[in-house]
Structure 1
């Protein structure tokens, strides 16, 4: 039975990656044991970890003066790790809020670790559509850093422009759009992302951090969140999520073999255009995000008659389309079409949307 999974995460993993992991699960490289049984400090596993890191450096073109850290704790863990690592006790930071997750990051900092300046950066236009007001992304002189979420998974909003922050480091959460489009890593002080949407199973978080930001952590920052400690120990200060790290390496290899991030961006644009063009062609569904700021990977939409929501989801599930229910914060529907989702999966979804709309019009 083929199931199409539109969940926001954990989400689809490329079929070739899953098949290779399945093949190696009980016997990795003829060692007679599975990757999940191996010591993370064994020479065999250290080679797996090093290859994964190098592959990520290659496909993202990460400069040599950036460290790559493979961590645990998820995005929420990094909401704390960012101020604990680079916000001085008497300092302050700018938070450019564009949706649910950047607001969570702001609250974590403001309520627990120090002064955070809130910049509300989303407005509504005359048609009731949400859009990003980049003019609100003005850094405050003296800020320790500026923070943004480049893709708001809940809200279906994606930043395609970057604020000018000058010498103030720009820290970004790219959990849901990492490796979906080409970016210039050198424009950021740090990039954080959870692996469970575009890379690997849940439980792995990656931080790409510029070296000059290391060594600033507060004395009471837990060692496992201290970027300088993790960098000094090659992310092996404690036992990492070795299986997710291995799976990430398989995914990075899959991306490289496809033609890299540029090829994925091309595919993601094609998928997003197909879905949004259909939604815009009918008044049965509505996407409340301005076209310029619509996420390529998290499409949020509502039904004209929301009393049909339960029926819509139940029928979708009966046809093996799962994960379409919107986040509890906003409701409605959401289709997540990350890197592992092929064009066929979006075509199947559009056919279902069309059929359901015609049956209830």
Structure 2
């Protein structure tokens, strides 16, 4: 079996042990003679699986009891509409403030603009989204229903290392590329959502962690399957849930527990990123894309000083078993996405290749 190191931004690599268990159980899950993708979502077996997944998420994340765990269709981008539909009515002014750090933050803001009065409270667009913008929470209108940010920018390689204190105004965070990769103080947030396809499983589904006091305020035009209360009342199963996604998420959470939990994986992620940033910083052959103070631990973005070598770099990397290193089409260059499942060995292989390539072509 020739498994490469997959640096794809998402859908991202899963741990080999998780993939192997899913393979081995595909035809006969838990000895019942059918696959997990064939059983009823109303069956007692699946209800046990879903409840166990809740418990694993709450335990590993350190999620307080005043937060509800929801599993929803449509991955993260569906939440770009669900968040304003559920939260704008917290205040009659229907105002929300968005902090723009890249493409997905902009998409979220544009979608929210369909439903209320949306403002850009801070943006780093002028510098090509190479940093987290300065933001003073004191500048917020007290009538603001919520503040939205994207915690990690997968395209430009930046990250909120510290989150703003928005006081009584709920802070909403799109943590699609970071949830379960770093420890969080949930007292800072009103709602967190994340597509599963980076650190939690396959694409097409999202988990929403929402403070219970924020539920029940959906706008009147909110469709039932975008209303958080619909999911709260039905254990996330108002209709047929993605049973396979929940199954893989369950395996991913168990794998994370076996790695020592979120605190341990956060330390490892910092070391993986540091290994690559050290090469970028100490070799003028490579140029980092993100400001040093705002670099992501999940997506290491950089350019070659001589961009005509990009194709050669990518081709030779693939021969070395280093897959999907091409930068996003909006920015080009090179991007190494090193989510939880990427082992240190993969980052070391990439680091060694970068050294060799610079030596041979510099």
- Which range, TM-score by smaller chain? over 0.9
Quick one: distance in 2 between partners of 1:24 and 1:270?
34
1:152 shift after superposition:
0.8
1:316 shift after superposition:
1.6
Aligned to 1:157: 158
Aligned to 1:133: 133
Quick one: distance in 1 between partners of 2:316 and 2:225?
45
1:139 shift after superposition:
2.5
Quick one: distance in 2 between partners of 1:61 and 1:136?
28
**Equivalent residues in 2 for 1:328-347, closer than 5 Å:** 328-347=329-348
Aligned to 1:99: 102
1:178 shift after superposition:
0.9
8 Å Cα contact 2:196-2:202 kept in structure 1: yes
**Equivalent residues in 2 for 1:4-83, closer than 5 Å:** 4-83=5-84
Aligned to 2:169: 168
**Equivalent residues in 2 for 1:269-284, closer than 5 Å:** 269-284=270-285
Quick one: distance in 1 between partners of 2:161 and 2:82?
25
1:90 shift after superposition:
4.1
> 1:234-259 CA deviation, whole Å, 9 max, x = no partner?
00001111101111011111111221
Quick one: distance in 2 between partners of 1:131 and 1:30?
51
1:122 shift after superposition:
2.4
Say whether 1:116 aligns with 2:134: no
1:23 shift after superposition:
1.4
- What are the ranges of 5 or more consecutive residues in structure 2 without an aligned counterpart? none
Task: Count how many residue pairs are aligned between Structure 1 and Structure 2.
Answer: 358
Aligned to 1:320: 321
State the secondary structure of the residue aligned to 2:356. helix
Deviates more, 1:319-328 or 1:27-36: 319-328
Quick one: distance in 2 between partners of 1:215 and 1:135?
30
1:103 shift after superposition:
1.2
Aligned to 2:227: 226
> 1:13-35 CA deviation, whole Å, 9 max, x = no partner?
11221121111111011100111
Quick one: distance in 2 between partners of 1:148 and 1:5?
28
1:353 shift after superposition:
1.1
> 1:117-167 CA deviation, whole Å, 9 max, x = no partner?
112332778xx9933233355422210000001101111000011112110
State the secondary structure of the residue aligned to 2:144. coil
Aligned to 2:190: 189
Quick one: distance in 2 between partners of 1:244 and 1:131?
33
Decide whether aligned partners of structure 1 residues 275 and 211 sit closer, same or farther in structure 2, where only a CA change above 3 A counts.
same
State the secondary structure of the residue aligned to 1:145. strand
Please report the TM-score for the alignment, with normalisation by the length of structure 1.
0.96
State the secondary structure of the residue aligned to 1:243. helix
> 1:79-136 CA deviation, whole Å, 9 max, x = no partner?
01000111137411010111121111111112x11111112332778xx993323335
1:218 shift after superposition:
1.4
Quick one: distance in 2 between partners of 1:144 and 1:22?
45
Quick one: distance in 1 between partners of 2:136 and 2:281?
28
Say whether 1:309 aligns with 2:310: yes
Say whether 1:290 aligns with 2:287: no
Decide whether aligned partners of structure 1 residues 326 and 136 sit closer, same or farther in structure 2, where only a CA change above 3 A counts.
farther
State the secondary structure of the residue aligned to 1:81. helix
Quick one: distance in 2 between partners of 1:189 and 1:129?
25
Please report the TM-score for the alignment, with normalisation by the length of structure 2.
0.96
Quick one: distance in 2 between partners of 1:247 and 1:129?
33
State the secondary structure of the residue aligned to 1:302. strand
**Equivalent residues in 2 for 1:192-271, closer than 5 Å:** 192-271=193-272
